[in-house]
Each structure stands twice: as C-alpha cells, then as structure tokens.
Amino acid sequence: SMQYEHILVETRGRVGLVTLNRPAALNALNDRQMEELGHALLAFDGSDDVGCIVLTGSEKAFAAGADITEMAGLNYADVYKSDFITRNWEQIRRVRKPVIAAVAGYALGGGCELAMMCDFIIAADTARFGQPEIKLGIIPGAGGTQRLPRAISKSKAMDMCLTARMMDAEEAERAGLVSRIVPADRLLDEAFAAAEVIAAMSLPTVMMIKESVNRAYETTLGEGLLFERRLFHGTFATEDQKEGMQAFLEKRLPSFKGV
Ligand code: CO8
C-alpha cells in the first residue's frame, strides 16, 4: 500500500472515488500525484468490491494542467530520457473497469488530457476545457492532439490547440467532448448515480464493452466488428447472461454476480 499526499481515495458502495487534491495549485498535476493516481486506480481495478470508478477534482479545477513549476527547468535530454512523464500518466490506460471523469472548473492542458483518458466525462456547468500548451511554447503531450480531434473533430481540435482558447461546458457537450452537463452542486451525486448504474451490471460485460469501444479507436471497422462479435459471443458463456435474460422474461430485476 502507498501513502497518498495529493489524492483522496474512498469507496461508496461498489463505486471507487479518486479526488485530485492539490487545491492551492488548482490541481496542477505533478509526477508524484500521477504516480499516486495510477496506484489508486489500479488498486480499484483489482478489487472485487469495485465495479466503477469516478475521478474528480475540486470545485474550481479538475486540473489546471501539468505542474509548470516541475517542467520549467527541464531540458530536452531530461524529458526524452525519462519519457516525461508518460510512465505515470499511462497507468490509467491499464485500468479495465470504467473510469468516469467528473469535471468542474478548469480542465486545461494535461488536465483536459487526463479527463479524455477517462471513459466518459460528466461536466459541471462551470467546466472549462482547453489545451493552452502553445502559450508555454510546448505542444500537448498526453493526447491533446490525438484524442481531441477524435472527440470533437479536426477543425475544433485545431482551433483549441492553436489558439489556446477555452471551451465552456455547453460548447464541450455540443462538440461531443462531454456526455452530459449537470449543475455544479450536483456533479458528484450525478457521477455517482451513473457509476452505481454501471456497477450494478455484470462486471465482465461492463469490461468487455469498455474494451470493445476502445478497440474502435485502434482498428478498422471490419476488424472492430469482428472483435465485438467475438466478445458478444463470449457473453453467452457467462452466468450473468442467463440471469439477465431470465430476469427479463420473469419481469424482475436481474441480480448479476460478475461470473
Ligand atoms: N502548474 C503549476 N501551477 C499552477 C498551474 C500549473 N499548470 N495552474 C495554476 N497553478 C497555480 C498558480 O501558479 C497559482 O499558484 P500561486 O497561488 O502560488 O501563485 C495557483 O495555482 C492559482 O492559480 P492562479 O492564481 O493563476 O488562478 P487564476 O484563477 O487567476 O487562473 C488559470 C486560473 C487560468 C487556470 C491559471 O492558473 C492558468 O492559466 N494556469 C495554467 C494553465 C496551463 O497553462 N495549463 C497547461 C500546463 S502545460 C501541460 O499541461 C502539459 C501537459 C503535458 C503532459 C505530458 C504528460 C506525458
């Protein structure tokens, strides 16, 4: 186990919650914090008691980017040799259970990229997204030029990355970056409600859906459809498929066991 300095971790029912907790720096993400985040997410991923994960920040900032103080003094050899700082940032890609980003306030630079690494984003009406790296003389380094165009189109992604302007929650929803907008004071409740719905489903089925949707971004349509079909067939090997269909026929709620 690991002592966390910059994140808070708790579980409510079958939902795991990670809160980014460096409010004084608007959750500017440092290496240590990302190491903690990866550790906490993978611990939830490995726990039988957790079916879905929520990642959030503070009221004012989900995260205002990577920590500029930590980056300012680095040179090319430093960042190249350490592969700055993907080692810790990429832990989240290993998580096989769904991770919902609950975003209020600023999600900028690495903060926007971190939100996009999650499976979907629920935004408070106060959320503001942006890739302002260009103003610092750098480019996005954790997926901003790759996930953003896939999420909101080339034109909008170019606009965001080249002008460094911020997008409010309304524009982000219209563009497809976020799945829904909720009032700021309801953000965590709504994120938990969504997570609880997911956590009550069959866990292997939930994980297969995540894996299959993510496959769509890595492959051709034909290969993706084949991948989906094989997983679909696989669901018929689970007891949860029997239970889900039987419950429907008996007009009752299913009780999934994750097997
Ligand atoms: N890094 C370090 N400190 C920060 C950051 C940051 N990204 N953002 C805010 N802070 C600090 C401020 O320095 C300030 O500290 P202090 O009180 O000690 O002066 C404190 O947080 C509060 O911030 P402000 O006083 O600036 O608050 P405002 O409400 O006036 O402004 C803003 C809020 C607009 C969000 C402003 O803080 C801002 O512009 N922040 C920087 C945003 C930014 O440029 N983000 C991109 C960073 S670069 C990046 O993320 C690259 C990611 C690459 C990932 C690679 C992984 C492999």
Residue-level pLDDT at 5: 96
Query: Residues 244, 246, 251, 253: is their CA dihedral positive or negative?
Result: negative
Residue-level pLDDT at 88: 82
Residue-level pLDDT at 87: 76
Q: Using a 6 Å cutoff on CB, does residue 57 contact ligand 1?
A: no
Cβ(64)–Cβ(132) below 8 Å: no
ipTM: 0.97
Q: Using a 6 Å cutoff on CB, does residue 143 contact ligand 1?
A: no
- Nearest CA-CA partner of 135 in 107, 167, 168, 163: 163
Distance 69 CA to ligand 1 centre (A): 9
pLDDT digits (tens, 9 = 90+) for 77-96: 999 998 887 778 889 999 99
- Nearest CA-CA partner of 138 in 64, 62, 76: 76
Q: Using a 6 Å cutoff on CB, does residue 169 contact ligand 1?
A: no
Lowest mean pLDDT among 1-5, 98-102, 103-107, 246-250: 1-5
The CA distance from 150 to 143, in Å, is 10
Distance 159 CA to ligand 1 centre (A): 21
Q: Using a 6 Å cutoff on CB, does residue 26 contact ligand 1?
A: yes
CA angle 146, 149, 153 (to 5 degrees): 170
Cβ(100)–Cβ(54) below 8 Å: yes
Q: Using a 6 Å cutoff on CB, does residue 92 contact ligand 1?
A: no
**Which residue, judged by its Cα, is nearest atom 12 of ligand 1?**
25
**Which residue, judged by its Cα, is nearest atom 37 of ligand 1?**
64
Quick one: tokens of 142?
Answer: 């954790």
The residues pairing with 29 across neighbouring beta strands, listed in sequence order, are 66
pLDDT digits (tens, 9 = 90+) for 40-78: 999 999 999 999 999 999 999 999 999 999 999 999 999
Q: Is the pLDDT of residue 122 over 80?
A: yes
**Which residue, judged by its Cα, is nearest atom 20 of ligand 1?**
25
- HSE-up (13 A, CA, CB side) for residue 86: 10
The CA distance from 193 to 191, in Å, is 5
Cα distances (angstroms) measured from residue 218 to each of 100, 145, 152, 222, 227? 21, 16, 17, 12, 11
**Which residue, judged by its Cα, is nearest atom 21 of ligand 1?**
25
The residues pairing with 119 across neighbouring beta strands, listed in sequence order, are none
DSSP state of 125: T
The CA distance from 51 to 36, in Å, is 20
Q: pTM for the full model?
A: 0.97
**Which residue, judged by its Cα, is nearest atom 16 of ligand 1?**
25
Dihedral Cα 45, 209, 190, 129, nearest 10 deg = 90
Cβ(109)–Cβ(131) below 8 Å: yes
Q: Decide the pairing of beta strands 128-130 and 106-108.
A: parallel
CB atoms within 10 A of CB 121: 27
Q: Decide the pairing of beta strands 128-130 and 120-124.
A: unpaired
Q: Using a 6 Å cutoff on CB, does residue 82 contact ligand 1?
A: no
Distance 28 CA to ligand 1 centre (A): 6
The CA distance from 151 to 154, in Å, is 9
The CA distance from 137 to 139, in Å, is 7
Lowest mean pLDDT among 75-89, 97-111, 142-156: 75-89
Catalytic residue set: 66, 110, 113, 133
Q: Is the pLDDT of residue 1 over 80?
A: no
Share of the chain above pLDDT 70, in %: 100
Q: What's the whole-number average pLDDT of the chain?
A: 96
